[in-house]
Amino acid sequence: MEEASVSAHNEAAEENENISTEKLSAGEVSSDTSKQDAAGKSMEDTRTPYNRVKLFEKVMQKSLNKFIEHASFKGFASMFRPLYKKNPQMIERIHNQFIEELRKAIQEDIAKLTEEGMLDFKLNEMDKLENAVKDDPEPAWRPSGVPEQDFCSFVMPFYQKQEAYMKLELKKIQAENAALAEKVQAGRESIAQTELRISTTVEDWKASEAEFEKVASSFGPADVFEV
């Protein structure tokens, strides 16, 4: 009888151990499955594009709500306890108006800072840059550990752009100078031709004057006034 009870006890223990092992394995499988699902969801979340402007607005709205929660009616009423005891409705209306004005003032300040800092434009530009490099197979830039080299790699493209711009401007100025030089040369040629025409006209006039004097001298006074 004792041997039978011992064997029965051992069988029951083995059965309980098997059941617990099955439950543990099932729990591990379900845990692994849940971890895989969570990892898959997190990967999907990272792949899902988001708008930084909307995210910024959501964060600011949530922060504003948290801040407004600290200005609770209970704390407000405790500061004006005598008035609250006399007229609770009036204190409640004042608190509601205070919360409304406070929220409005904070929202106006946030909108003003957003406009002055051009946050909408900058956050949209960040979204565009992220979308532009999302499918880029080239690895992103990483610092090499040598500050001089990293600084040169950052500054050199800027100087190269400036050099290209200066070369383009130099070509424009050289073209303008060439056009001006052509105009000056044409003006000089025109002045030279004018001077030549003037000198030719003067020579012709002198020749005509000499011819006239020669013809006039050929006539004597007797020939002119002879009766």
pLDDT for the residue 96: 86
Please tell me the predicted confidence (pLDDT) of residue 26: 44
The 8-class DSSP code of residue 135 comes to: T
CA distance to 170, 193, 204, 213, per residue, from 201 (Å): 46, 12, 5, 18
Q: Note the residue count of the chain.
A: 227
Domain boundaries, the chain: 10-48, 50-136, 148-219
Q: Count CB neighbours of 92 within 10 A.
A: 14
How big is the CA angle at 68 (ends 108 and 51), to the nearest 5 degrees? 60
For residues 164 and 158, the answer to whether their CB atoms sit within 8 Å is no
What ranges make up the beta strands (E) of the chain? Answer: none
How crowded is the C-beta side of 69, counted as CA atoms within 13 Å? 6
Per-residue pLDDT of the chain (227 residues; tens, 9 = 90+): 333 343 444 444 455 445 444 444 444 444 444 445 544 444 444 444 568 888 888 998 899 888 888 877 777 777 777 877 888 888 888 888 888 898 899 889 989 988 888 888 888 888 888 887 777 777 777 778 888 888 888 788 888 999 999 999 999 999 999 999 999 999 999 999 998 889 888 888 877 777 777 776 766 555 554 54
Helix/strand/coil (H/E/C) assignment for every residue in 188-200: HHHHHHHHHHHHH
Read off the pTM: 0.38
pLDDT at 138: 75
